[in-house]
Amino acid sequence: MTQVLINGFYLGAQYALVALGLTLIFALMNVLNFAHGQMYVLGGFITYAVYAQAGLPFVVALIASGLTLGVIGALIEKFLFRPVIRRSVRDESTMLLAAAIAFFFDAVILLVFGEKQRGVPKILNGVFVSGPLIMPYDRILVGVLAIALIAGFMLFMQYSKPGRAMRALAQDRMAAQLMGVNVDRYSMIGFALGAMLAGLTGGLLVAITGVNSGIGGAVSIKAFTMVMIGGAGVVGGAIAGGFILGMLESVGLTVLRSYGDVTYLVIFAALMVFLSIRPHGLMGKPWG
């Protein structure tokens, strides 16, 4: 059982990273980034290309993923979301733009990287064994990196100037503007940061489970689920949601294995019930 829990924990750490990116974008711009899963996949493929194909060190590959997605995120915010938000009458426009971007990414990924499942050579060999526990070193490393990134992100948001500006923006756009926060610049930075987190997580996970072009949508849905559990727009909520989902998935897959593919069905059904009692997730702000 402890094995299951530990698996759930490190899975949760990575999921939390994905959820953080999504929730940041949502908090800053009230935009549900449909393309988040695709950004994750792209990050994975970039790491694959740099590490497995070009043979550069894993860390370099990770940085490449993060930076590329960061730049892409910034460009998307500036040239696509900003004009649409400015000119549309209804909220749905941004959602549809995000959906269209998700489709676009799917197309590009398919064209550039093909349909095959890709994996990378193990970044660390060997396994840590302690009693009944078995933990491959590479998974430990990935888990540690994920937690380091989460911690880094939270420190950044808490203490750095851009971090504080973004938090102000998320809390009260009008007030932040009045205080001189450059809304445009920080929306762009925030989106870029969110995309970067997705890309980094993709890079991290490709080292463990590999990546293929079709999983973008599924990852997006998982990310939404985490945000729903923990509450949208709140950093703590994203982390909580990520860990909870990681745990539930790990436990569910083991315990319910005999019943077939029902783990996610159970999770979703429970989520619906949970949401009817607490519609805004564990820590979410009332949104309406």
Partner 1 sequence: MSQLQNLRLARASVFLLIVFVIVPWAIAAGGRNDLYYTLTSVALLSIASAGVWLTFYIGRINIGQGAYALMGGYVSAILVVQYGVSFWLTLPLAGLFCAAISVLIGLPILRLRGVYFAMVTLVLTEVTRLSALALPITNGAKGMVSIPLPGPIGFGGFDLVPGFATLKTPNMAFYYLSMLLMCLCFAAMYRLVHSRIGRLCQSLQQNEELASSIGVNITLLRIIAYAISSFLGGLSGAIFVGIAQSIYPSSFTVNDSVNFMLNCFLGGLGYVFGPILGTFVLYFGWDLLFQAGPYQLLIFSSLLILFMLVLPNGLLSLNPFARRKA
Phi-psi region of 260 (alpha: psi -120 to 50; beta: other; left: phi over 0): left
- Strands 133-136 and 127-130, sheet pairing: antiparallel
96 binds partner 1 (CB under 8 A): yes
Nearer to partner 1, 60 or 107 (CB): 107
Q: Which of 6, 93, 162, 254 binds partner 1 (CB under 8 A)?
A: 93
| x/- track of binding to partner 1 for residues 223-242 (CB under 8 A) | -xx-xx---x----------
Note whether 75 binds partner 1 by CB under 8 A: no
Nearest distance, CB of residue 279 and partner 1, angstroms: 5
Residue choice 89, 131, 178, 180 for contact with partner 1 (CB under 8 A): 89
Is 277 exposed, middle or buried (CB count within 10 Å of its CB: 0-12, 13-18, 19+)?
exposed
Q: How far is the CB of 274 from partner 1 (least distance, A)?
A: 10
Output 108 or 133, the one with its CB closest to partner 1: 108
- Residue 84 found at the interface with partner 1 (CB under 8 A): yes
Interface with partner 1, residue 60, by CB under 8 A? no
Q: Does 133 bind partner 1 (CB under 8 A)?
A: no
Residue 285 as a binder of partner 1 (CB under 8 A): the answer is: no
User: Any contact of residue 178 with partner 1 (CB under 8 A)?
Assistant: no
Tell me which of 52, 110, 168, 183 binds partner 1, using CB under 8 A.
Answer: 110
- Give DSSP secondary structure letters for the chain: -HHHHHHHHHHHHHHHHHHHHHHHHHHHH----TTHHHHHHHHHHHHIIIIIIS---HHHHHHHHHHHHHHHHHHHIIIIIHHHHHH-SSTHHHHHHHHHHHHHHHHHHHHHH-SS-B----SS--EEEETTEEEEHHHHHHHHHHHHHHHHHHHHHHHSHHHHHHHHHHH-HHHHHHTT--HHHHHHHHHHHHHHHHHHHHHHHHHHH-B-GGGHHHHHHHHHHHHHHH-TT-HHHHHHHHHHHHHHHHHHHHHTGGG-S-HHHHHHHHHHHHHHHSTTTTTPPP--
Q: What character string, x for contact with partner 1 (CB under 8 A) and - otherwise, covers 13-32? A: -------------x---x-x
CB of 230 to partner 1, least distance (A): 12
Asked if 282 interacts with partner 1 (CB under 8 A), we say no
Q: Which residues bind partner 1 (CB under 8 A)?
A: 26, 30, 32, 34, 80, 83-84, 87-93, 95-97, 99-101, 103-104, 106-108, 110-111, 217, 221, 224-225, 227-228, 232, 259-262, 264-265, 268-269, 271-272, 275-276, 279-280, 284, 287-288
